[in-house]
Amino acid sequence: MKLILAGNWKNYPESPEEAINLLSALARRAKIFKKLSTFIIPPAVYLGSAAKKIKSFAYLGSQDVFFSGDSTVTGAVTADMLRNLGAKAVIIGHSERRRLGETNQVVSEKVKTALKSGLIPIVCVGEEVHDSEGNYFELLNEQIRSSLEGVRRKDDAHKIIVAYEPVWAIGRRAKEAMQPTELSQMVIYIKKVLTEVFGRDSAGRMPILYGGSVEPSNAKDLVTSTGIKGFLVGHASLEAKSFGEIAQALLK
Ligand code: PGA
């Protein structure tokens, strides 16, 4: 299986012209992105342009998906709409959305909605603080179980990508990211929880990504013998050059 590289643009760039320029710059590096499973995940307003531009070298992803029992809701972008536009994946439960009030329960509903429409959920989990007592293990355990509640063990679990994103490591510089030794431990722990919930077979097929200040300078160390299957990259995905360098690091 190819390693995964997902670029989460968040709420950038601010103009369609900049978005097009970034997409064009990424397209010039198509060759390297094709060697990975690359996902470009722009803000919703640029999904249409991105869908056309990246088709030959990357998959399109959305940063969120609407979930509700109501069928008519102003402002909603549904899973079927995303799918019909050509999206392949959707980030669910990013810490920046959890901070706005998205609960584990909402995350689990969104995960099921995405699966039903054939979108790959990229489910974000991660602790706010990495305390010395190790309380984060329990928090992560609970977050993984509740965020994936109701996911069918045999049919659906293996379609999910888990993105481990320690909140304290997001949006910083490479040297403040999680260190590889610690990341290895966290990956083992996440695998253990997933195995308990979904069984060895399904859990073994669920890729675990790392996100949190991945930059060209730390990418290689973070992927070497830590057990991760790729990255969810924030700020460094907004420059084609650095995103391309991270792709290179994954391929080494
Ligand atoms: P960052 O963001 O790479 O800027 O830390 C990662 C993320 O929030 O997905």
pLDDT of residue 100: 97
When the pLDDT of each residue in the chain is averaged and rounded to a whole number, the result is 96
Which of 5, 8, 99, 175 most suits a substitution to test ligand 1, by most atoms within 8 Å of the C-beta?
A: 8
Nearest to 166, CA basis, from 188, 195, 137: 137
pLDDT of residue 119: 98
Distance CA 8, CA 12 (A): 9
Distance CA 43, CA 86 (A): 15
What domains can be seen in the chain, in order of their start residue? 4-251 (3.20.20.70)
pLDDT of residue 71: 81
Ligand 1 atom, smallest distance to 8 CA? 9
The residue written with tokens 């940063």 in the block is: 63
Specify whether the CB–CB gap between 108 and 147 falls below 8 A: yes
For ligand 1, the distance from its centroid to the CA atom of residue 232, given in whole angstroms, is 7
pTM of the model: 0.97
For 157-188, the three-class secondary structure string (H helix, E strand, C coil) is HHHCEEEECCHHHCCCCHHHCCCHHHHHHHHH
Quick check: is 158 catalytic?
Answer: no
For ligand 1, the distance from its centroid to the CA atom of residue 181, given in whole angstroms, is 20
If you average pLDDT over residues 90-114, what whole number do you get?
Answer: 97
- 50 Rama class: left (phi>0) / alpha (psi -120 to 50) / beta: alpha
pLDDT of residue 1: 87
pLDDT at 68 exceeding the cut of 80:
no
| Model pLDDT for residues 112-161, shown as the tens digit of each residue | 999 999 999 999 999 999 999 999 999 999 999 999 999 999 899 999 99
pLDDT at 69 exceeding the cut of 80:
no
| Bridge partners, 124 (sequence order) | 163
**SS3 assignment, position 218:** helix
| Model pLDDT for residues 52-67, shown as the tens digit of each residue | 999 999 999 999 999 9
Ligand 1 pocket: which residues have CB below 6 Å? 8, 165, 170-171, 211-214, 232-236
Nearest to 43, CA basis, from 77, 4, 70: 77
Which of 10, 100, 245, 246 most suits a substitution to test ligand 1, by most atoms within 8 Å of the C-beta?
A: 10
